[in-house]
C-alpha cells in the first residue's frame, strides 16, 4: 500500500479499489481506516502544478460514509464516527469484551454460547447496568479447522464496569465449561473480530 510518505512526481491519478470491504467490514474501525486512506492517497496525487484525482471503486456510491467524506471532509467524518463510538460504547470511549466459543459439534457450540448469553443478559438486567450484549452470533469465519465458531460481544461505558461485570459472570463460564469439547476465550478490547 503506497499511501504514506512517498512523493511521486507528476502523479495525478490515484485509485482505491474495492472500498466496499471497508464499508461492510465486521471491524467497526474499517470506515475510519478508509477515510484515513482516502486522505492519504489524496495527498499523493497532484502534488505539483497539475491537479490530482482520486478514484474510488465501489458498488455503493450512495453509501452515507462516502457521501459524508466527499461532501464534508475527513474531520467531520471522523467526528461522526467518534459519535457512533460514544453511542455504542466502543473503544476508546468505552470498553469491550469478545467471548469466542468453538467446538467440533455445531449444536454444542451454539448451546454453550446461547447459555452464556442468556445468563449474562439476566445478570446485566439484574444490575440495571449500561452493559450491552450483541449476539450470540456465528463468527465471521463460522468454521475453521473443523470447529464451529460463535461469539458474543459485550460493551460497557468503561473498563472498570466491564471487568466487574465479567468477574461476576466468570462463574457462568467456568460452570458451563463442563460441556465436552467446547473451547472458549475472552478478548478484552479486541482488535480482531474474526
How many whole angstroms separate alpha carbon 80 and alpha carbon 98?
24
Residue 6 lies in a domain: no
Once rounded to an integer, what is the mean pLDDT over residues 63-88? 89
CA distance 131 to 89: 9
Is residue 74, in this structure, part of any structural domain at all? yes
Tell me: do 99 and 183 sit in the same domain: yes
Taking alpha carbons only, the member of 123, 126, 120, 179 closest to residue 154 is 120
- Give the model confidence (pLDDT) of 13-47 as tens digits: 888 888 888 888 878 888 888 888 888 888 777 77
Peptide bond into 92 cis (omega under 30): yes
Q: Are 77 and 120 within one domain?
A: no
Look at residues 88, 112, 133 and tell me which one is the last residue of a structural domain: 88
Say whether the peptide bond before residue 136 is cis (omega within 30 degrees of 0).
yes
| Cell numbers given for 120 | 449474562
> What is the domain range of residue 150?
95-188
On whether both 83 and 100 belong to a single domain, the answer is: no
The HSE-up count of residue 99 (CA atoms within 13 Å, CB side) is 28
pLDDT in tens, 127-164: 777 788 998 999 989 999 999 999 999 988 888 888 88
Do 30 and 75 lie in a common domain?
yes
Amino acid at each position: 500500500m503506497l499511501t504514506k510518505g512517498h512523493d511521486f512526481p507528476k502523479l495525478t491519478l490515484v485509485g482505491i479499489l474495492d472500498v466496499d470491504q471497508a464499508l461492510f467490514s465486521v471491524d467497526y474501525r474499517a470506515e475510519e481506516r478508509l477515510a484515513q486512506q482516502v486522505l492519504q492517497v489524496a495527498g499523493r496525487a497532484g502534488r505539483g502544478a497539475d491537479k490530482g484525482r482520486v478514484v474510488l471503486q465501489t458498488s455503493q456510491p450512495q453509501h452515507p460514509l462516502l457521501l459524508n467524506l466527499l461532501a464534508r471532509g475527513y474531520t467531520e467524518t471522523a467526528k461522526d464516527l467518534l459519535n457512533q463510538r460514544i453511542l455504542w460504547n466502543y473503544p476508546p470511549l468505552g470498553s469491550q469484551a469478545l467471548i469466542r466459543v468453538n467446538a467440533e459439534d455445531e449444536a454444542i457450540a451454539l448451546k454453550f454460547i446461547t447459555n452464556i448469553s442468556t445468563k449474562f443478559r439476566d445478570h446485566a438486567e439484574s444490575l440495571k447496568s449500561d452493559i450491552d450484549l450483541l449476539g450470540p452470533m456465528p463468527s465471521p469465519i463460522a468454521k475453521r479447522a473443523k470447529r464451529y465458531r460463535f461469539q458474543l460481544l459485550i460493551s460497557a461505558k468503561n473498563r472498570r464496569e466491564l471487568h466487574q461485570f465479567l468477574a461476576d459472570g466468570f462463574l457462568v463460564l467456568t460452570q458451563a465449561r463442563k460441556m465436552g469439547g467446547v473451547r472458549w476465550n475472552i478478548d478484552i478490547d479486541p482488535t480482531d473480530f474474526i
